[in-house]
Structure 1
Amino acid sequence: MRKLFLAIAAYAVLSAPAFAEPVTLRAISAFPSNLEFTKQFQTFIERVNKAGEGVVRVQFVGGPEVIPPQQQDTALRNGVFDMQMGPASYYNGIVPEADALFGATAGPVQARENGATKMLNDIWRKKLNAQFIGWQSGGIPFYVYLVDKPKMTSEGVLDLTGLQMRSTPAYKEWFEKLGGNNVMLQTAEMFTALERGVVRGLGWPAISYTDIGVHKFLKYQVAPPVWQLDLVIMMNGKKWDALPEQARQIIEQAAVEHERATQSDFGAIREREDKILREAGVQTVEVGNPALHRKIAHDLVWDRLASRDPSNVEALKAKLYQE
């Protein structure tokens, strides 16, 4: 009898299904780890890992030191990495609709509620073979920061004529429109460029300038702010489709929570950094015609999108932009 019991027990052990290992996803950021953008992304990763214990796990592998930001979308498409966070404007040559995020006045929570996020995901899947996971904006806008006292045109908008401005594809046309000269530099090069006088200003969101230390050289913040952070968390489409349904639900729920959380998190960071900016002696200068200043910046973004691919402009604009 004892032998029979042992035999049955052994059979039960051998025939029992093995516990599946959690799916591990490799994630990368377009920004260095010390920037708040990446810190917030890591908070999202922690949220996924906590809720997905035993099901799905995200491993953060690094930032620009691993692969340059402008090459990360290609690496994601090719499956080198599974998940990426960074500015959608870095790959708006492939996905022109990235400009819709940049030019938006609606935030991530509203975009998810009114169906804009689903539209964006359909576009990301078609053009980038990527799943649009979430929009890490927090409602943070962009300012122009200058070393020298800003000049205004007769129309009451910023005049950058002759100024060397640290730039990226996101700012290039706007700075040109305002008369500035674009000096295309990576984030890591900004400090040295300002220190050496290579540039006299830059465009940057209302947070994370203190992480880089550039506030030490800046003297003026030009208001009002424009645009909105276009930080997108996305995944390789094939990898997303291969995930168990439970893993997809965990990531989607984490994205919903993350989009809401960044509103308060980024807001607190903005208040903290604004205080540092004032203590460093940076003054805010309001342009003479704030409405025109904002209109020029936003119209440029939406017009650029319309010229590159008009097929989704009106639908996205209706959901994301209000003058």
Structure 2
Amino acid sequence: MKTLTKLLQGIAVAATVAPMAAHSQDLRVLSSWSESYAPVTEVLDPFLEKLEEESGGSMTLTRFGPETVPPFEQLDPVSRGLFDMLFTNGAYHYNDTAVGMSLDALDGTASDLREAGVWDFVDQHYQDRGLKLIAVLYDLNGYHIMLKEPLGDDALSGRRIRGTPIYHPVIEALGGSPVVLPGSEIYPALERGVVDGAAWPTVGAVGFRWFEVADHMIRPSFGQVGHPVFMSLDTWNSLDASTQETIARAAEAYEAEAVENFNQVVSEEEAVLAEEGMTVTELADSYAEQLNEAWYSGVMELAAEQSSEAIATLREMAREAGLAP
């Protein structure tokens, strides 16, 4: 933590001496994942390239990863303008606000969020915290659970499954016992038998080589994975109206492109996993029918513990717009 504090202090001093974002529009982009997570290079980087292209070369964006600031500590330095943009998942800053995390429980595209007013509601919520929502890049393929052994008739009964709190309702609905571990410990935990499986987005097993220690993946998947892109509100307000309009227009257009990019990544990963011997293990219908409701209710109830009023409003908006399963 002392090292991180010194790093952020150094960035703050540099920003004071030469406030690049305000004048040259040279923006620093923080990512919650390294390049081992394929969406960084296959979804985020094309978005950054699009923004640079749409700006006519007047804006450059440089990406930094979790080696710079740990994933769960990234919201604050971006809100304070020490970095200009953030590519993350809402669950990573649950202790600050759970509104972003709730997006993973909804049933719809970013366009649907905009039409229902949910996108603007989330945007305003984060603006009150010093951040401007730029885009919601959705992976509609959602989440799944990887297993060392295939499913039986009793689903996950008696099995220990790695999962942060957001996964617990699904794991428990399938009879499993949740074990909280950071993503970096999934491989050794599976390898040593500390856990019998691990919950994660459907993208990731190839880059992190989890197929070496888990041979099966549960289907159907559940939920959808939101990757909100935020900008420091100070940075946003420092940009001229034309640049703001360019970013907003390009971001809205890219939200649809991102869905296709995620689909391509998932398709490529599934092909590699098949080659490596990982197979699909199907849930019995009686359990599969519980998945989406367990996910939605679990995510929303957990989110309400942190941001009760905002989540109550968002749930009502989602219900009226048909975005709740």
**Structure-1-length-normalised TM-score:** 0.84
Which residue, out of 42, 51, 55, partners 2:54?
A: 51
Residue from 285, 303, 306 that aligns with 1:305: 303
Alignment of 1:107-146 (within 5 A): 107-126=109-128, 128-146=129-147
Which residue in 2 is equivalent to 1:35? Answer: 37
Q: Is the 8 A contact 1:36 1:208 kept in 2?
A: yes
Q: Contact 1:131 / 1:234 at 8 angstroms: preserved in 2?
A: yes
Return the alpha-carbon distance in structure 2 between the equivalents of residues 27 and 169 of structure 1.
Answer: 27
Q: Does the 8 Å CA contact 2:215/2:277 hold for their aligned counterparts?
A: yes
1:84 corresponding residue in structure 2: 86
Kept in 1, the 8 Å contact 2:110–2:138? The answer is: yes
What is the identity, as a one-letter code, of the residue corresponding to 2:70?
Answer: P
- Which residue matches 2:245? 249
CA contact 2:167–2:295 (8 Å) conserved in 1: no
CA distance in 1, matches of 2:57, 2:218: 49
- Residue matched to 1:72: 74
AA at the equivalent of 1:143? H
Aligned-pair CA distance for 1:122: 1.1
Shift in CA distance, 307/66, structure 1 to aligned 2, threshold 3 Å: closer
Matched ranges for 1:90-105 at <5 A: 90-105=92-107
Which residues of structure 2 form unaligned runs of 5+?
A: 1-21
Contact 1:146/1:218, CA 8 A, preserved across alignment = yes
- Name the counterpart of 1:159: 156
Contact 1:21/1:54 (<8 A) preserved: no
* Alpha-carbon offset, residue 87 of structure 1: 0.7
Q: Which amino acid aligns with 1:198?
A: V
Amino acid at match of 2:225: L
Q: 1:137 aligns to what SS in structure 2? A: strand
Q: Write the letter of the residue equivalent to 2:230.
A: M
2:224 to 207, 225, 228: 228
In the alignment, the residues of structure 1 paired with residue 26 and residue 170 of structure 2 have an alpha-carbon distance, to the nearest angstrom, of 41
CA RMSD of aligned residues (A): 2.2
Alignment of 1:166-177 (within 5 A): 166-177=162-173
1:303 to partner: Cα distance: 2.8
Q: Determine if contact 2:214/2:278 at 8 Å carries over to the other structure.
A: yes
Structure 1 distance, partners of 2:293, 2:304, is 16
Report how far residue 84 of structure 1 moved: 0.5
Residue by residue, what CA displacement relative to the aligned partner does 1:239-290 show, whole Å, maximum 9, x if unpaired? 2112111221122122112211112111122111112222222222222222
Deviation at 1:190, TM superposition (A): 2.4
Structure 1 range deviating more: 245-254 or 171-180: 171-180
Give the counterpart letter for 2:44 in structure 1: F
**1:100 and 1:316 in contact (8 A); partners too:** no
Aligned with 1:28: secondary structure? strand
Q: Following the alignment from structure 1 to structure 2, what is the Cα–Cα distance between the partners of residues 285 and 85?
A: 32
For the Cα contact (< 8 Å) 1:219–1:283, is it kept in 2?
A: yes
Q: Which has the larger radius of gyration?
A: 1
Q: Which residue identity is paired with 1:34?
A: S
- For 1:214-254, what per-residue CA distance to the aligned partner results, in whole angstroms no more than 9, with x for missing partners? 02222221121111112110011122112111221122122
Runs of 4+ in 1 over 6 A off after TM superposition: none
Looking at structure 1, the residues matched to 283 and 319 of structure 2 have their Cα atoms a distance apart, in angstroms, of 26
User: What one-letter code is carried by the residue in structure 2 that aligns with 1:211?
Assistant: G
Taking structure 2 as the reference length, what is the TM-score of the superposition? 0.83
Partner Cα distance (1:303, 1:32) in 2: 30
Structure 1 residues 103-147: Cα deviation after superposition (integer angstroms, max 9, x where no partner):
011012322233321111011112x32111111113221111111
- SS at 2:315's partner residue? helix
Against the structure 1 CA distance between its residues 31 and 160, is the aligned structure 2 distance closer, same or farther, given a 3 Å change threshold?
farther
Contact 1:111 1:320 in 2 (8 A): no
CA distance, structure 2, for counterparts of residue 98 and residue 147 of structure 1: 31
Q: Distance in 1 between matches of 2:190 and 2:266?
A: 22
Choose 298-307 or 241-250, whichever is displaced more: 298-307
SS in structure 2 at match of 1:211: coil
| Distance (whole Å) between structure 2 residues aligned to residue 319 and residue 41 of structure 1 | 28
Contact map agreement 2:136 2:226 (CA 8 A) in 1? yes
Q: Which residue type is aligned with residue 92 of structure 2?
A: Y
Q: Secondary structure at the match of 1:225?
A: coil
- Code of the residue aligned with 2:214 in structure 1: it is L
> Residue 214 of structure 2 corresponds to which residue in structure 1?
218
